[in-house]
Amino acid sequence: MQYRHISSLNIDVSAYGIGCMRLPLRQLDQGKTDPALINEKEAIRMIRKGIDAGVNYIDTAYPYHEKQSEPLVAKALENGYRDKVYLASKMPVWETHSYEDFEKMLDLQLQRLQTDKIDFYLLHALNEESWPRIRDLGILKFLDKAKEAGKIVYAAFSFHDELPLFKEIIDAYDWDMAQIQYNLLDEHYQAGVEGLRYATDKDIMTVIMEPLRGGALAQKVPVGINRVWDEASVKRRPVEWAFRWLADQPEPGVILSGPSSVEQLEDSLRIFSDLKPGCLSDDEKALTARVQKLYHNKVKVGCTACNYCMPCPYGVNIPGVFSLYNNIFLFDEEKESKQAYQKLIKDETDASQCTECGQCEPLCPQNIQIIAKLKEAHQALTG
């Protein structure tokens, strides 16, 4: 495992961190899964295997896996594993409405995580609605107090909004870390590379989330893009290119990925074994720039299947619909996508079930206009 020295905090973190948002799930009838039903044995085995291999950064959050991730992580970190890692978790700021709520939530999370301190405590998915609201409720004073009390070690936030807001938040407090979405496709999206460098210039550690864009950059690679990757003199799989593109850059501290199986974890650990800043040659950088351009021309909806908008009260499978819509253009899979969409129609989980209640849109970290995009997708998938 490669480690990154974080000089501002004087700690060494593993370049690869385990995100506990996409843990192995139990298989239900007909191959269905339910995010609340974690395959506990396999998830614990996976997390411990990563730690045994040198991963020292574990990321979870209150809402992941319908609130089952924190308790699972607590179990995985029993038997001495807790002392081997930096544990990160996130306050669901949308569930807090007063200063007392902040205190209650942190205490509840410490209990759920079965620990007396959270190393990196993040304000979850800050955006233009949540940031001014919790700032005015005294969140920064709360973070100071939580540090003084030893309940948290480092104060941080994760971010899903536009760059100017990112800079405003960075400038508002003496943060220890900021977590941003950043990958091949999102170099200039949300905080993007400018935000990454802005935080680094202020000596704030950065952690990267969604490095594979929820898996799409590894698994759903269009033929044309694979052809470009194949031009490289050293052959690598798309997952390796996606991780390598990030690791090449000097700024990121931890690159967090959420493996959904032990095999994926092992694969990623192998890839990370030799990834260091400066690991891409100039030719390889030119190749990745071409791939980035090709991707940008194809994506219709920038949905990362994070599931924050789910469940829809009317049953719409929002990420499922967007995935099929994108697949038409990413993989030239019109026929297959339309066929798969018929199944959603049969299950009454297709876009036409949307009543435009509006519940989902404020929850989307990608700020997708879900209602309008669902209509567009429905037309493309049924037209």
β-pairing, 254-257 with 16-19? parallel
Q: How far apart are CA 132 and CA 136, in angstroms?
A: 6
By CB under 6 A, residue 21 contacts ligand SF4: no
DSSP 8-state secondary structure symbol assigned to residue 189: S
Q: Applying CB under 6 A, does 354 fall inside the site for ligand SF4?
A: yes
Q: Which does residue 357 bind out of ligand SF4, ligand NAP, none, counting CB within 5 to 8 angstroms by kind?
A: ligand SF4
- Rounded Cα gap, residues 309 and 124, in angstroms: 15
Q: For the window 206-225, what string marks contact with ligand SF4 as x by the rule CB under 6 A?
A: --------------------
For 297-345, give the DSSP string: HH-SS------TTPSPTT---HHHHHHHHHHHHHS--HHHHHHHHHHHH
d(C-alpha 159, C-alpha 193), whole Å? 13
SS3 38: strand
SS3 17: strand
CB of 134 to ligand SF4, least distance (A): 20
The single-letter DSSP state of residue 125 is E
| 364 touches ligand SF4 by CB under 6 A | yes
Cis omega before residue 238 (within 30°)? Answer: no
Please list the alpha-helical segments (H only) found in 53-138.
64-67, 69-76, 99-112, 130-136
347 binds ligand SF4 (CB under 6 A): no
Instruction: Pick the binder of ligand SF4 from 209, 328, 368, 381 (CB under 6 A).
Output: 368
Q: Of ligand SF4, ligand NAP, none, which one sits near residue 172, judging by CB under 5 to 8 A according to partner kind?
A: none
Q: Which residue is nearest to ligand NAP (CB)?
A: 19
How many whole angstroms separate alpha carbon 340 and alpha carbon 350?
10
Residue 219 binds which entry of ligand SF4, ligand NAP, none, with Cβ cut-offs from 5 to 8 Å by kind?
ligand NAP
How does DSSP classify residue 2? -
CB of residue 355 to ligand NAP, shortest distance in Å: 27
Q: Which residues here bind ligand NAP, judged by CB under 6 A?
A: 19-22, 59, 90, 124-125, 158, 160, 179, 209-215, 218-219, 239, 256-260, 264, 267-268, 306, 365
Shorter beta-carbon distance to ligand SF4: residue 32 or 227: 32
Binding part of the chain for ligand SF4, among 96-104, 132-140, 341-349, 361-369 by CB under 6 A, reads: 361-369
Nearer residue to ligand NAP within complex by CB, 1 or 149: 1
Q: Could you give the CA distance from residue 259 to residue 270 in angstroms, rounded to a whole number?
A: 13
How big, in percent rounded to 5, are the helix, strand and coil portions of the chain?
A: 50, 15, 35
Rounded least distance, CB 160 to ligand SF4, Å: 9
296 to 325: interface string for ligand SF4, x by CB under 6 A: -------xxxxxxx--xxx-x-xx--x---
Residue 301: CB minimum distance to ligand SF4, A: 8
Binding residues for ligand SF4, rule: CB under 6 A, are: 303-309, 312-314, 316, 318-319, 322, 354-360, 363-364, 366, 368, 370-371
